[in-house]
């Protein structure tokens, strides 16, 4: 009897071992697709004996905007390039979302060639052409998929080099009056323009400046007056600008770097005497201005800390509740669904007053309504996969935070970020769209609207709503402005209407903050990147992964005419969340710490190199989740202090203090 029992148990053990997944096979093993083409991947799981194991495999794309794949393996090619799809066998057959817990993975290379060029066109041509002048010719190539192609070389040729000659970078020099044809060639397509060159009529050529002196980072506008012999302006007379500089004493080796754009806007990165040169045909004019150090630097004093050292901290929100006290919420990342509520009325005595735990791995985002009574926290990685929102009564956190509602209808894919505006919650859904949820009665939320792009491989990461306009951050599609009640286009929470968008080549658009400058009245969108292009250090005790990217400053005067005018870029680090108040920009710069930046006045060029950085702070904590590895997630100015959430150590309160630090060591 014992013998048979032993044999029976051995057979069970052998059978169980034979059914353990040992190999994952994907067919086809690689794909070559044209833009817009579709394909289907199939996966087979086998045990060590080669028998098929009945287990579900999930597919995903590392760059969904380039080549998309759904969990069932249906692939669509969106954009050209070399891409990688991944087939994953989860350790837990019931958990198909957690990629970090894969039992087996297989990578499937996808090659998507560039479509051929369909057209080439000339852009921004002047209304007149004059002998002796030079014009930079701009062109645009569009391929058969409708995409603008910056990688296709354009070759220009002229019918008469005596009238119009070309250099190797596409500038046209007009030698004598006459007619000529300029032809642009791009792959197998071409386009041509016929031009007439007139004699140069300019008799008077003068240069003026908007100011005589400036600080580093101040924008000075230079304007040329080109008049004919009768004193009349010459239309579209082409002018080129250049700079030369004499550094301030003591920084000769560093130089006095400055930049002037084609419109005559000049900004200096270092102090010194800067000379701007305007050239138009045979005419030249110069003007010199004195640039002084900006000297806005301040020190940072630590006021208090609300430590969270046993898990990662995500976002924060600081507000005054109806009970008259000041509070902060912080979320948690990759843990077990905690949101922490802190009393920060005295920033030197931050203390925890309540904790709410929800069914989630990550509470990524936390927001509070304008009246301070209602909070919304996001959920990702719920055990039942419903995710969605949790709505809280936070009218008096000291007396206890109360869950009043949960909302998960069609939000199963996870809510990464949210925003509350005018009794509506704008909730991201599955990284694809945002749903608009009415919370006039927080206990009975209901959906009223939805917005989603229709571009190939579109995604969304963040949203911010101000004055009835929703600004979403959409990775490769950039910042998208949508009328939800304030754009005069008939938009409302239940009828979102797109107003405009701005995208940049990297496709890293992660978060945006809309802001009207107090000093100039201009409207900007400050668009932040997020990227992790560097190899991850998996050694025990290694610091968090290093980020890349910067803040793009987008001037947005008209919805259809946004333009990028400046940037703030820390060379050794990458940006995350941002906030702006009183012409000061506050950025959580991951491993680069907290950054505080002066954004007053006109903005052009590289704000970091101009000495506009007011302060930086690294929240080192030897007892943190990863000791002394500050990783600032985001910051918020509030009642004279700056509160920041650090990924490895929790909540901090700091304040700016006077400092005798001077830009480049220069005196005032």
pLDDT-derived band at 65, boundaries 50, 70, 90: low
What pLDDT does 254 receive? 60
Position 668 scores a pLDDT of 46
Residue 663 confidence (pLDDT) above 80? no
Residue 191 has pLDDT above 90, yes or no: yes
Q: Is 419 helix (H, G, I), strand (E, B) or coil?
A: strand
664: pLDDT strictly greater than 70:
no
Residue 558, classed as helix, strand or coil, is coil
pLDDT of 323 = 97
- pLDDT score at 14: 42
Q: How far apart are CA 279 and CA 401, in angstroms?
A: 67
Beta-strand ranges (E) seen in 28-80 are 31-32, 38-40, 42-47, 58-61, 67-69, 74-77
Instruction: Tell me the pairing of strands 388-393 and 374-379.
Output: antiparallel
- Is 20's pLDDT higher than 60? yes
Percent of the chain with pLDDT over 90: 74
Lowest mean pLDDT segment, chosen from 43-57, 251-265, 493-507, 550-564: 251-265
What pLDDT, on a 0 to 100 scale, did the predictor assign at position 25? Answer: 93
| Residue 492: per-residue pLDDT | 97
10: CB partners within 8 A, 6+ apart: none
* Mean pLDDT value of segment 287-315: 96
Task: Indicate the pLDDT class of residue 5, thresholds 50, 70 and 90.
Answer: very low
CB burial of residue 299 (10 Å; 0-12, 13-18, 19+): middle
Exposure string over 36-75, b if 16+ CB within 10 A, otherwise e: eeebebebebeeeeeeebebebbbebebbbbbbbeeebeb
Task: Say which residue the tokens 């239940």 belong to.
Answer: 494
> What integer is the mean pLDDT of 388-406?
97
Residue 150: pLDDT band with limits 50, 70, 90: confident
Read off the pLDDT of each residue in 2-31 and give the average, rounded to a whole number: 63
Mean of per-residue pLDDT scores for the chain:
91
- Does residue 665 register a pLDDT over 90? no
Name the CATH architecture for the domain at 202-292.
Answer: Sandwich (2.60)
Q: Closest Cα partner for 611 from 665, 555, 565? A: 665
Three-class SS string for 211-280?
CCEEECCCEEEEEEEEEECCCCECCCCCCEEEEEEEECCCCHHHCCCEEECCCCEEEECCCEEEEEEEEE
CATH hierarchy code of domain 117-198: 2.60.40.1080
Q: What is the largest CA-CA distance in the chain?
A: 121
pLDDT grade for 13, boundaries at 50, 70 and 90: very low
For 343-366, give the DSSP string.
Answer: E-SSGGG-EEEEEEE-S-SBB--E
* Per-residue confidence band for 64, with pLDDT thresholds at 50, 70 and 90: low
Query: Where along the chain do its domains lie?
Result: 22-112, 117-198, 202-292, 298-665
Q: What is the pLDDT of residue 386?
A: 86
Residue 662: is its pLDDT beyond 90?
no
pLDDT in tens, 339-348: 999 999 999 9
pLDDT digit string (tens) for 558-588? 999 999 999 999 999 999 999 999 999 999 9
Res 17 pLDDT > 90 = no
- Asked whether residue 10 carries a pLDDT value surpassing 60, the answer given is no
SS3 assignment, position 550: coil
Q: Which two tokens stand for residue 321?
A: 């509740």
Could you tell me the pLDDT band of residue 549, with boundaries at 50, 70 and 90?
very high
Asked if the model's pLDDT at residue 257 lies above 90, the reply is no
* Rounded Cα distance, 391 and 376, in Å: 5
Tell me what the mean pLDDT of segment 172-187 comes to.
94
If one looks up domain 22-112 in CATH, what number appears? Answer: 2.60.40.1080
Segment among 11-25, 427-441, 483-497, 638-652 with least mean pLDDT: 11-25
The CA angle 268-270-272, to the nearest 5 degrees, is 90
Q: Which long-range contacts (CB under 8 A, 24 or more apart) does 532-538 make?
A: 532/574
Assigned CATH class of 298-665: mainly beta
Q: Are residues 198 and 178 in contact, defined by beta-carbon separation less than 8 angstroms?
A: no
CA distance 304 to 299: 16
- How confident is the model at residue 566, as a pLDDT? 97
Q: With 90 as the cut, is the pLDDT of residue 423 above it? A: yes
Judge whether 22-112 and 298-665 match in fold: no
Mean pLDDT of 151-166: 93
Quickly state the pLDDT bin for 4 (edges 50, 70, 90): very low
Structure tokens at 62: 């590392």
The tens digit of pLDDT for each residue in 271-284 reads 999 999 999 989 99
Residue 3's pLDDT band (boundaries 50, 70, 90)?
very low
Q: What is the pLDDT of residues 521-548, one digit of tens each?
A: 999 999 999 999 888 787 877 777 889 9
Q: Which residues pair with 298 in a beta bridge?
A: 658
| pLDDT, tens only, 600-652 | 999 999 999 999 999 999 999 999 998 999 999 999 999 999 999 999 999 99
pTM of the model: 0.88
Q: Using alpha carbons, select from 657, 650, 640, 586 the residue that is nearest to residue 347.
A: 640
């Amino acid at each position: 009897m014992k013998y048979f029992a032993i044999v029976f148990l051995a057979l069970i053990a052998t059978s169980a071992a034979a059914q353990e997944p040992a190999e994952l096979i994907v067919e086809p093993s690689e794909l070559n697709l044209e833009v817009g083409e579709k394909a289907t991947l199939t996966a087979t799981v086998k045990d060590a004996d080669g028998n098929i194991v009945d287990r579900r495999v999930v597919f995903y794309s590392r760059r969904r905007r380039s080549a998309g794949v759904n969990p069932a393996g249906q692939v669509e090619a969106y954009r050209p390039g070399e891409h990688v799809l991944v087939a994953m066998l989860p350790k837990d057959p019931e958990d198909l979302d957690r990629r970090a817990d894969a039992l087996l993975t297989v990578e499937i290379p996808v090659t998507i060639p560039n479509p051929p060029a369909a057209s080439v066109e000339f852009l921004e041509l002047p209304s007149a052409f004059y002998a002796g002048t030079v014009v930079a010719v701009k062109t645009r190539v569009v391929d058969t998929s409708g995409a603008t192609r910056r990688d296709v070389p354009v070759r220009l040729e002229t019918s008469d080099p005596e009238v119009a000659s070309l250099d190797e970078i596409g500038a046209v020099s007009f030698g004598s009056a006459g007619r000529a044809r300029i032809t642009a060639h791009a792959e197998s397509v071409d386009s041509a323009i016929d031009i007439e060159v007139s004699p140069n009529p300019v008799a008077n050529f003068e240069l003026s400046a908007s100011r005589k002196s400036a600080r580093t980072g101040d924008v000075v506008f230079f304007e040329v007056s080109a008049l004919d012999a009768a004193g009349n302006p010459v239309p579209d007379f082409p002018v080129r600008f250049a700079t030369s500089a004499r550094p301030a004493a003591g920084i000769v080796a560093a130089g006095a770097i400055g930049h002037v754009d084609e419109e005559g806007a000049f900004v200096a990165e270092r102090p010194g005497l800067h000379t701007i040169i305007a050239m138009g045909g045979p005419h030249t004019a110069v003007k010199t201005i004195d640039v002084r150090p900006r000297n806005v630097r301040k020190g940072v004093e630590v006021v208090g800390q609300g430590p969270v050292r046993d898990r990662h901290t995500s976002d924060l929100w600081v507000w005054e509740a109806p009970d008259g006290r000041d509070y902060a919420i912080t979320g948690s990342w990759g843990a077990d669904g905690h949101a922490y509520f802190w009393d920060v009325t005295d920033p030197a005595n931050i203390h925890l007053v309540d904790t709410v735990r929800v069914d989630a791995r990550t509470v990524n985002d936390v927001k509070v309504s304008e009246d301070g009574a209602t909070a919304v926290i996001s959920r990702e990685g719920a055990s039942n996969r419903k995710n969605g929102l949790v709505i809280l009564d936070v009218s008096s956190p000291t007396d206890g935070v109360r869950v009043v509602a949960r909302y998960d209808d069609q939000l199963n894919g996870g809510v990464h970020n949210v925003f509350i505006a005018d009794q509506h919650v704008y909730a991201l859904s599955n990284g694809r769209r945002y749903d608009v949820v009415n919370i006039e009665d927080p206990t009975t939320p209901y959906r009223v609207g939805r917005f989603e792009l229709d571009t190939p491989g579109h995604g969304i990461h963040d949203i911010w709503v101000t004055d009835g306009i929703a600004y979403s951050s959409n990775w490769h599609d950039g910042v998208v402005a949508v009328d939800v009640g304030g754009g005069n286009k008939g938009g409302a929470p239940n009828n979102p209407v797109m107003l405009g968008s701005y995208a940049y080549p990297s496709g890293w658009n992660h978060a945006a903050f809309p802001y009207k400058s107090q000093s100039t009245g201009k409207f900007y969108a400050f668009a932040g990147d997020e990227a992790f292009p560097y190899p991850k250090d998996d050694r025990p005790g290694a610091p968090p992964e290093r980020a890349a990217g910067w803040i793009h400053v987008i001037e947005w005067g008209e919805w259809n005419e946004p333009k990028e005018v400046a940037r703030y870029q820390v060379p050794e680090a990458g940006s995350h969340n941002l906030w702006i108040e009183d012409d000061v920009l506050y950025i959580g710069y991951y491993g680069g710490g907290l950054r505080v930046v002066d954004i007053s006045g006109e903005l052009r060029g590289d704000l970091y190199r101009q000495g506009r950085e007011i302060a930086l702070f690294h929240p080192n904590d030897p007892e943190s989740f990863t000791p002394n590895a500050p990783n600032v997630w985001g910051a918020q100015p509030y009642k004279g202090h700056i509160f920041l959430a650090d990924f490895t150590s929790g909540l901090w309160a700091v304040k700016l203090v006077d400092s005798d630090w001077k830009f480049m060591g220069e005196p005032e």
